[in-house]
Structure 1
Amino acid sequence: MQLIPYLLKHTQLVEKNIVNTVELLDQDCTIPFISRYRKEKTGNLDEVQIGDIVKFKELFEALEKRKLAIIKSVDEQESLTSELKKKFQDAPDLTSLEDLYLPFKKKRNTKSEVAIKNGLEPLAKIIMAQNNDDIDYIATQYLNDAIPNEDEAIEGAQHIIAEWINERTDVRNQIRHQLEKFAQITTKVVGTKKDDEKAQKFRDYFDWSEALNRCPSHRLLAILRAENEKFIRVKIVIEDERTIEKVEDRIIKNRSSSSKYIKAAIEDAYKRLLYPSLSNETLKLAKEKADADAIDVFSKNLKQLLLGAPLGEKRILAIDPGFRSGCKVVCLSAQGDLVHNENIYPHAPQNDSTGAINKISSLVDEYKIEAIAIGNGTASRETEQLVKRIIFKNPIEVYVVSEAGASIYSASKIARDEFPNFDVTVRGSVSIGRRLADPLAELVKIDPKSIGVGQYQHDVDQSKLKSSLDTVVESCVNAVGVNINTASVPLLSYVSGIGPKLAENIVAYRNENGAFTSRTEIKKVPRLGGKAFEQGAAFLRIKDAKNPLDDSAVHPERYDLIKSMAKEKGISIKEIIGNKSILESINLNAYCSEDIGLPTLKDIVKELEKPGLDTREKAKVFTFDQHIKSITDLHEGLVLPGIVNNITNFGCFVDIGIKESGLIHISNLSDTFVKDVNEHVSLQQQITVKVMEVDVARKRIQLALQK
């Protein structure tokens, strides 16, 4: 099998576009670079389509690697024929390949192997031929010291037949089909765990049964987590009798005396070999699908979170609220640098609200603060209410910011490197303030699994999750662009073609030589070669550069083209930027060539209209209902403001200003059928909700979306 036909089959894209994309990938080009700056080569494929090519290219390469290993193994057994080799080479997927390899796998001392060693393989072949009516008599010819009677001879032959049946691809596929269509997943509580307090959150699955192919991903992952924690037992159930009959129809040719022995061998093969193996395989595939769904949800949420509305370069006072230990207050410059930190104690047990108000007021004046960020954890509401009592000289906007993962960041090596002389409380408060200024720049420093926008993220395949989330972060960072003179190492490491080591080199060069003044200067960074510059330069922005194009998404390889456009109009590059009427008057067809076409030219003109434009919305102030302070304040029918803080396949969770988030089940998002939750709400969206049900004991709140 060849790569391109494989990709054609699985992506349904145009062959020429696939070939060119694979060529670019083999040249170590990144997805963001290819999708933005090589549109003519790929036929204008977007990041998702290129990502599919990358995914299936990796699957193909893994399949081919496994084929080589299997062919080598079978050859070493001296069992490889040209026909068998071709079957291995033509296998379309890993399942088919492993089925073909099954007879050649090294097995432990199985019942079949013992029977073969005892000389019973010829008897098994006679029985399977199904043309001899006197099997009992024939069996007496195979007696020896290990086989004292014909019953044991026949039983041994049946073990061999059972193994043969187990190795038949058509039989395995027949049972796979039955499992795929009819399998039920059933659960039973472990008797000793029924009253376990930790098990109660899984009590819906203490006695559960449903069709496996209709079990939604979140439910399957919940069931498997409960099993993993040993609260329940999970079983895949199918109608055995019907499945065995279908296998018999495939194998038994006639009703000779051999058939009863074959029938027994089929039943043995099914119960001892086929069903255990294939039911596990079916559950594994269902888990993989559930993982994919959960990873997709997480990826969508992460993208929305990373592209959340930034406040921008403002002087921010950030507060990490708390009761007993006080509130940690930090003041940040417009560039996010820490300029001051201290504690205030407005809440119990100290209750120094007057001192806290005076301190915040004086800090706002002293550091010319433009906005206040308050973490949404313990004592958040009380701190917000305190701050809103303060009468400032100038208007100050107050924001409540999610602090999910801030504690992870504050104890990380990244935080220690940034603030070696400050403790975790200071670092956490800085993170809260910086999240308000630019969520993307700050959140890239935190393991996405700790940000709190996933669905069973610790239960899914961790390597696939990491790969998917890294792709999302890379996509978001490059979509927005990075200021090379202010970006941290973690942020720079996600820039196309850069990576962690070059990111460190960039920051080290910046620290030693001062701010970059041009994109050309980036080439002076140690070990940053031509390929890295090609891949990353257009995503790295330089404010107030001599060449204004250095603060745009225009690739340096197109600077001469823009110079020609400006020269044609008799103006400078600086004058053409932002001049919509001039840009609209340019005949783009005149600038088309072999390596540049209208898609790229239109992108360039669009960028020149508003160079370096941040497409993200600006942060908006939001106020929770001040009368709601705990779950006991809620009642059915209450209408409240809220912020969407997590999205799942079964609905979304909403922060209504108390410790517990409420759930809008998918059925309460709309009066009509909802296929995709993301079509109705987005992460961090400010919405209005209605309380449908409150379960104080289980700390559950059911909400409905109010239009």
Structure 2
Amino acid sequence: MTGASDSIVQAIAASLQLKALQVTHTVDLLASGNTVPFIARYRKERTGGLHEEHIRAIQERYTYATELEARKATILEAIDAAGKLTDELRARITRCASKQELEDLYLPYRPKRRTKASIARDKGLEPLATAIFADARLADLDAAARPYVDPELGVATPQEALEGAGHILAERIADDADIRQWVRKRLWEQGTLVTKLKRGAVDAAGKYADYYDFSQAISKLPSHQILALNRAEREGVIAVTLEAPIAEALEFIQRRIAPQTSPAVSTLLRTVCQDAYERLLHPSLTSEVRADLTAQAEEVAIAIFAKNLRTILMAPPLKGKVVLGIDPGLRTGSKLAVLDATGKLLAHATIYPHPPRQDVTGAAQTMLALIAQHRVEVLAIGNGTGRREVEQFLTAHVLPHAPHVQREIVDEDGASVYSASRLAQEEFPDLDVTVRGAISIARRLQDPLAELVKIEPQALGVGQYQHDVNAKRLQTALDQVVESSVNSVGVDVNTASAMLLRYVSGIGPTLAHNIVAHRDRHGPFHSRMQLLDVPKLGEKAFQQAAGFLRVPESADPLDNSWVHPEQYDLVARMARTLGVSVAELMGHPDRLAHLEARAFVDEEAGVGVATVQDILEELQKPERDPRAAAEHFAYHPDVADITDLKPGMVLAGKVTNITAFGAFVDIGVHRDGLVHISELAPTFVKDPHSVVSINATVRVKVLAVDVARQRISLSIRQAGASSG
């Protein structure tokens, strides 16, 4: 690695409290085309056991640092070409640790559009500005300015010459890196964000009423408030300004540029400093600070979305059950879809137990026939409009005749998006959109991860202002979450959709399509090695993907485990040591207990104690799923609508979304209630994720109900502890 790279590695190691060698090896592994999931699981010896979060942090910081170094080189070259590069400036640029600091230093040399200062330079007034800077004790400014009077250049009087020189000085002040850093720091420490209702603004629902006359210290603005203010401003409802004490700033600037001045120069510089601050510095830094505030708020919002997304993707699957999915509907009927334990569609129908048809008898007969014919074990009911009526129908007319059938409520956010998508059309070209919705609801219960990867995360309703943040940064973060989730669970190569396969380490969209096409053409895979027959799936892709792809049908039990094919020989050696087969070794902790990890270490092959211990752990429980077991949940039977709610009620609910300001809970009334962060726990809560998680079952107390605005205020703190 180069000297610059060495310094970058040292800086990253220090910032993340890691060893430099861990950073170096991680960077090298990434540069060699290894994926983050592969490195985290199968290259622990190289990284010192780093988790995905550390590897991604190294990746991001190394990218930032290399971009910074490249920008430094570009700026040094540009300033040098202009003949303005001094040794001191070169040293300051070389030492820069942030892009902001670097751009501050470059600002005086950056090509500018036409400004008051550039116009003054065109009039030949730069030498006058330089003279005033060089000798701030000039007693007679008029005399100093007189030689620069030139009517042909548009300078008619000494006063006009001084005014033009003042514009040049103001720009120099605004471009001074040290002054910008000082004023920026004070703005962050002492600045206040102020909003006012715009004249003639329309906010009929009073959505932004809290911000019609609002002020808050910049340092105390929460992330969700920043994004809300941005949205209100963007919609033309409010005007936003940044206010800060000006006197201290002007005093610092004048002291910085000319500690000792003559009375005449002092008067001029006071005017110049005020102009520099009000016309140039404050507007520029206001834009910069607001951009930074937005970036920080977006970072929080994206992190919250990512956490929430991971929680729903890693929700427990309901394995080995025949499920009947119900997409509730009233006037248009409820769509039914029966799926076998693998998610294959067995039958579908539509029932009309509600007005206007109100065919209760026919609906019950249809459902009971499907339940009996296909041995349905679980009903998956979408939680949208009509759910409560469907539940009442089931309770009265179906479940008494099928008491063995379990009933589950499924969040259907995004199901309509999937059912109308090209992917759903390709999968079920002959089915109605609503039937596809019922299929999706059933599959979400059977395997949330496999089904939810088919839907854009933004459609899942688990974000905070997700439509107000940088789309590219959001997509990158969410893709990483999906990739991490898929690879932490593993994928059955013979049943996975192309959408699921594309997130497997080393696969991507093209190879995912090729795997499915090969499977359709030649039948199921019978071993991991057979993956090499897939077009364009070479040795590198196989190395990255094999450990995450399961082949339950394989004769080799290791093909249905986390053990990577690189280590199959090692496992065979373990089995020979005990005189048993690999199959007889797997799932037998008593036998595995006789194996000493260090006896199988092979440093030359990159197999250390960490890898051997991982293998031994996997051999104990080869089919383990990191997702927890599913739990049953039911709403209060007497609460169906927001009008049924009364303050003081204590109800069971399910957390549907978590934001920086609290958590939203579904209590079965078609409108989620808000548990403000102050009502989450009896003690102070900084991060709502520390006390609740998406899909968690909680007990909540109803604090207030606003039917007109469809708002429900809830409390976990006043209702007792969560129940799951």
Does the CA contact (< 8 Å) of 2:137 and 2:261 recur in 1?
no
| Aligned pairs (5 A) from 1:430-441 | 430-441=439-450
Which of 111, 116, 123 matches 2:121?
Answer: 116
The aligned amino acid for 2:654 is I
1:209 aligns with 2:218: no
| Equivalence for 2:516 | 507
Distance in 2, matches of 1:481 and 1:566, equals 25
1:192 alignment partner, SS class: coil
| Aligned pairs (5 A) from 1:316-355 | 316-355=323-362
Distance in 1, matches of 2:290 and 2:446, equals 45
| Equivalence for 1:136 | 142
Residue 575 and residue 384 in structure 1: after superposition, are their counterparts in 2 closer, same or farther (change >3 A)?
same
2:705 alignment partner, SS class: strand
| Equivalence for 2:553 | 544
Distance in 2, matches of 1:497 and 1:675, equals 38
Which of 461, 466, 469 matches 1:460?
Answer: 469
Does the CA contact (< 8 Å) of 1:162 and 1:268 recur in 2?
yes
| Equivalence for 1:180 | 188
Does the CA contact (< 8 Å) of 2:525 and 2:553 recur in 1?
no
Residue 139 and residue 51 in structure 1: after superposition, are their counterparts in 2 closer, same or farther (change >3 A)?
same
Distance in 1, matches of 2:401 and 2:298, equals 50
Structure 1 residue 621, shift from structure 2 partner? 2.3
| Equivalence for 1:448 | 457
Residue 73 and residue 325 in structure 1: after superposition, are their counterparts in 2 closer, same or farther (change >3 A)?
farther
The aligned amino acid for 2:16 is T
The aligned amino acid for 1:689 is V
Distance in 2, matches of 1:138 and 1:235, equals 40
| Equivalence for 2:231 | 225
| Equivalence for 2:634 | 623
Distance in 1, matches of 2:85 and 2:273, equals 28
| Equivalence for 2:660 | 649
| Aligned pairs (5 A) from 1:76-115 | 76-77=81-82, 79-80=84-85, 84-85=89-90, 87-115=92-120
| Equivalence for 1:266 | 273
Residue 85 and residue 412 in structure 1: after superposition, are their counterparts in 2 closer, same or farther (change >3 A)?
farther
| Equivalence for 1:25 | 30
1:161 alignment partner, SS class: helix
Structure 1 residue 544, shift from structure 2 partner? 3.1
Does the CA contact (< 8 Å) of 1:409 and 1:415 recur in 2?
yes
2:310 alignment partner, SS class: helix
Does the CA contact (< 8 Å) of 1:127 and 1:262 recur in 2?
no
Deviations 1:605-653 (A, max 9, x none): 1111110211212322211111111111111110111111111121111
1:245 aligns with 2:251: yes
Residue 328 and residue 76 in structure 1: after superposition, are their counterparts in 2 closer, same or farther (change >3 A)?
farther
| Equivalence for 1:65 | 70
Structure 1 residue 242, shift from structure 2 partner? 2.1
| Aligned pairs (5 A) from 1:367-406 | 367-389=374-396, 390=398, 391-393=400-402, 395-406=404-415
1:308 aligns with 2:319: no
Moved more, 466-475 or 97-106: 97-106
Distance in 2, matches of 1:379 and 1:518, equals 46
1:365 aligns with 2:376: no
The aligned amino acid for 1:693 is A
2:316 alignment partner, SS class: coil
Which of 642, 653, 659 matches 2:670?
Answer: 659
Deviations 1:262-291 (A, max 9, x none): 221111111111100011111111111111
Distance in 2, matches of 1:197 and 1:511, equals 56
| Aligned pairs (5 A) from 1:532-571 | 532-571=541-580
Structure 1 residue 77, shift from structure 2 partner? 4.1
Distance in 1, matches of 2:304 and 2:712, equals 22
1:362 alignment partner, SS class: helix
Distance in 2, matches of 1:370 and 1:218, equals 43
2:656 alignment partner, SS class: strand
Does the CA contact (< 8 Å) of 2:322 and 2:338 recur in 1?
yes
The aligned amino acid for 2:463 is G
Deviations 1:496-521 (A, max 9, x none): 11111110010011001100000110
Distance in 2, matches of 1:82 and 1:252, equals 24
Does the CA contact (< 8 Å) of 1:187 and 1:232 recur in 2?
yes
Which of 502, 526, 532 matches 2:535?
Answer: 526
Moved more, 87-96 or 653-662: 87-96
Structure 1 residue 559, shift from structure 2 partner? 0.6
Structure 1 residue 588, shift from structure 2 partner? 0.9
| Equivalence for 2:175 | 167
| Equivalence for 1:485 | 494
Structure 1 residue 67, shift from structure 2 partner? 2.9
Question: Which residues of structure 2 form unaligned runs of 5+?
Answer: none
2:541 alignment partner, SS class: helix
User: What is the percentage of aligned positions where both structures have the same residue?
Assistant: 45
Root mean square deviation of aligned Cα: 1.5
Moved more, 229-238 or 149-158: 229-238
1:153 aligns with 2:161: yes
Deviations 1:145-176 (A, max 9, x none): 11000110000000010111111101000101
Deviations 1:323-355 (A, max 9, x none): 111111111122112222221111122211221
Structure 1 residue 408, shift from structure 2 partner? 1.1
1:201 alignment partner, SS class: coil
The aligned amino acid for 2:121 is I
Moved more, 249-258 or 4-13: 4-13
